[in-house]
Structure 1
């Protein structure tokens, strides 16, 4: 019965995305990217004789999380062919030309026929999924073929269906996993509670990725011209609720500060709304190169995807968006790795790193404009406060690296 409901939900989801694709660009890419997908995969693979390892990522964030494992595996086994798939266009469209993977595809929707056909074509020797994406037909098909399946940086909470009386269908997916590399001991104990013992605490591979990025960030000369040696508040992955607080905050800035806003969604309407809120003090990144007076602007609006992890090197303080949404805050670790204190909204408690950054005084949660102003003033008005929070953020990241090494040592590869 549960399998039938699951299959119906997949078909309903596909129909919904198909409907939205008539007016939503992201949904349109979702559908277009999967058109003739199996013909495309077969043409690309073309019976190549090399062993293949399959890495799947939901979107861009999960890609960055699993990236250290993928790149270490490729470096130590260059003869392997890496097949990489994405569920979301926001991951695929940004990383479709990533040079460490040999083949990059959209993941076909999770039906029994699709899972069987995809695995027939790819024939992976090993499979790696990241964090918390579970697909019933892909997982059961891998198990039936005895293909090892590993979960990288897995994390579990008691509220998830896996640990409820009604969660037998969800638990069946967990039984297909060869090894869970969990972020913390609590996740392992939750697995124990349902009779799953094939786990090891590796930590979170995101720490490895953000730490590595902080050591060799990509330089962006246009940003360097814009900042003009000013202190910078970087708003990463912001949403309208965040921007409604951030723009008024700028009115409290001294002349020593500027703001860079990298919104989570960079569609035309969203960027134009930020520009409208910011007035004539703002400029889009796409227009910055043409400007003859780059330093006169107070706001820089990033109207592309993929720059954020490099932007943090230029920051003094970071605001991380999403904390006023149901899904919660976005990636705090990219900013923390550069030693930036991080401020975010109230919906953060299911993110262990945010909780721990607050405990270490490297992170600050706010509920409204007044709390945002207080947190920013605490950091901006006293160099000692700023330095202490900066050190706390950077040290937190540094003390949590090496998850990738633990994974490789465990697997013996």
Structure 2
């Protein structure tokens, strides 16, 4: 199965990934770093602080996973102040976000493409103490390289979507290998725990720890910060301010239709749009012109030192700011939910005590949505008419707006602690898998995972090699060991004689 998988991976890389990378290198400044690192071109100085130093490696794919990673890294630093921490990301957005909000990391890199020799190179050069994928970042060749070196793996903030449940079945034996490589599954909810168990994970390895996004603090905003944001966006006296975060194509059109209705009743209203991909800002600006709205770009407004123009539509074309930008909103719409994408993180606006509106597709964040909707903090709408009605009702009813905001914040406070619980399981796992690194004073032996119930095991071949090495080079070779070494020495002479004869026949 690995042969088929690797053949397909190489075909996809050659036909699609490499041309795409080259295109982005030409069009996007700084993308060459991602291409170089993803293809295995890590420079020594980029990993000098973590390579071969028993680092704790935590990996999140994109911006959302990096947000979940942030509180985990803070807790790891508290629990293991002397251990180097490596953070990796797949996307440019995730990498830049990590640079902004994870100051505790000793090194931040791009994750390798899942090509056998590339993954092997990364793991061999870094040799982490443990690997911690966030959510469901499992890659076959990478985990295979991890497994061969007996490095423990602990999934944190685990989440399995309904789509993933159907997709992973087609990996057959590869999926089983990946699951067997993971020693701990720390899942966000009981639903995710059931999903991973249904997919074949050992129930003894599964734990429900909660969602670490409840613990994020990078987006905290002081009253002074809030005033600065409003000044920088030119919305000091505007009401209502509607913030739409992580929007996708076609959702902006719905938002402009809604905004047209809102502004009839509230001439000072503002619409702040933060597209999921900041590069779409120009596209959305052109759409705004079709609705006769002038739009301001966050990046350009930051360059102005004096008073800002009062743009009715504001576009957030910067990376890593959405979590804080939510604070300026009077009502928040979270995108990816009016289309069949599965929604986005509703906890960031909830942390700012905001009333939240979403579309009907929230499968990827079903648990967060369930918590917020249960207390009336988050309302689901199905179309532009319903969105218009809810926005008008919320901004026109101070009591409801404040109640929804207070309920949002209460949910956040009640569900914090996932990062701390995850680190407790990390400490337990490292206690089980970290043993004395030497059997004899002069003989280093890697026997991680040997004592981890249900975890990986040292391969028989490796165990034999290590045992023989100990006999040959250890200072205290027993009498039986000398006999065994003598027999092996005789076999070596026979082997040497056979090789010489074969060469003579040539």
Same fold (TM over 0.5): yes
**Structure 1: gaps (5+ residues):** none
For 1:246, the equivalent position in structure 2 comes to 255
TM-score for the superposition, normalised by structure 2: 0.74
Asked if 1:140 corresponds to 2:148, the answer is no
Partner Cα distance (1:345, 1:13) in 2: 34
What is the CA–CA distance in structure 2 between the aligned matches of 1:236 and 1:60, rounded to whole Å? 13
Number of residue pairs the alignment of both structures matches: 411
Where 1:219 maps in the other structure, the secondary structure is: helix
RMSD of aligned residue pairs (Cα, Å)? 2.8
* 1:19 match: 19
Does the C-alpha gap of structure 1 residues 327 and 233 become closer, same or farther in structure 2, counting only changes over 3 Å?
A: same
* Distance in structure 1 (CA, Å) of the matches to 2:394 and 2:26: 38
1:65 counterpart residue number = 68
Q: Does 1:409 align with 2:424?
A: yes
Looking at structure 1, the residues matched to 11 and 223 of structure 2 have their Cα atoms a distance apart, in angstroms, of 42
Residue 161 of structure 1 and its aligned partner are, at CA, apart by 4.2
1:386 aligns to 2:389 (yes or no): no
Distance 1:279 1:78, change over 3 A: farther
C-alpha separation in 2, matches of 1:27 and 1:55: 30
1:125 aligns with 2:133: no
8 A Cα contact 2:247 2:273, kept in partner:
yes
After superposition, the C-alpha distances for 1:180-236 in whole angstroms (9 at most, x for unaligned) are 1111123323444435120111001111115x6336699265532222233321111
**Deviation (angstroms), 1:111:** 2.2
**SS across alignment from 2:225:** coil
Q: Does 1:234 align with 2:247?
A: no
Candidates 333, 336, 347, aligned match of 2:350: 336
Higher deviation after alignment, 143-152 or 154-163: 154-163
Partner of 1:265: 277
- Give, in whole Å, the separation in 2 of the partners of 1:26 and 1:249: 38
Aligned to 1:208: 215
Q: Does residue 1:312 correspond to 2:321, yes or no?
A: no
Pairing partner for 1:364 from 374, 379, 385:
379
TM-superposed deviation, 1:122:
0.5
Structure 2: distance between partners of 1:106 and 1:74:
21
Once the two structures are superposed, residues 132-165 of structure 1 have per-residue CA deviations (whole angstroms, 9 ceiling, x without a partner) of: 1110111122222221111111123565148748
Q: Is the 8 A contact 1:205 1:401 kept in 2?
A: yes
Alpha-carbon offset, residue 94 of structure 1 = 4.0
Distance 2:235 2:395 in 1: 16
Q: Could you tell me which residue of structure 2 aligns to residue 284 of structure 1? A: 297
Q: Equivalent residue of 1:304, what SS?
A: coil
- The answer on whether the counterparts of 1:217 and 1:310 sit within 8 Å (CA) in structure 2 is no
Please list the CA deviations of residues 289-330 of structure 1 after superposition, one character each: whole Å capped at 9, or x if unmatched. 538653633222222111111111222111111123332212
Are 2:395 and 1:395 equivalent residues in the alignment?
A: no
Give the deviation of 1:23 after TM superposition: 4.1
The DSSP-based 3-state class of the residue aligned with 1:134 is coil
- Counterpart in the other structure of 1:107: 111
Structure exhibiting the larger radius of gyration computed from Cα positions: 2
1:187 to 178, 184, 192: 192
Task: Please state whether the residue corresponding to 2:65 is helix, strand or coil.
Answer: helix
Residues 274 and 220 (structure 1), Cα distance of their counterparts in 2 relative to 1, 3 Å cut: farther
CA distance in 1, matches of 2:157, 2:224: 26
The aligned residue for residue 324 of structure 1 is: 338
Match of 2:4 in 1: 5
Gapped runs of 5+ residues in structure 2? Answer: 429-506
Hey, what's the Cα distance between the residues in 2 that align with 1:195 and 1:107? 24
Partner deviation per Cα, 1:62-103 (whole Å, 9 max, x = no partner): 011111111221233232211221111221244346532211
Give the aligned partner of residue 156 of structure 2: 152
C-alpha spacing 1:62/1:258, structure 2 compared with 1 (3 Å) = same
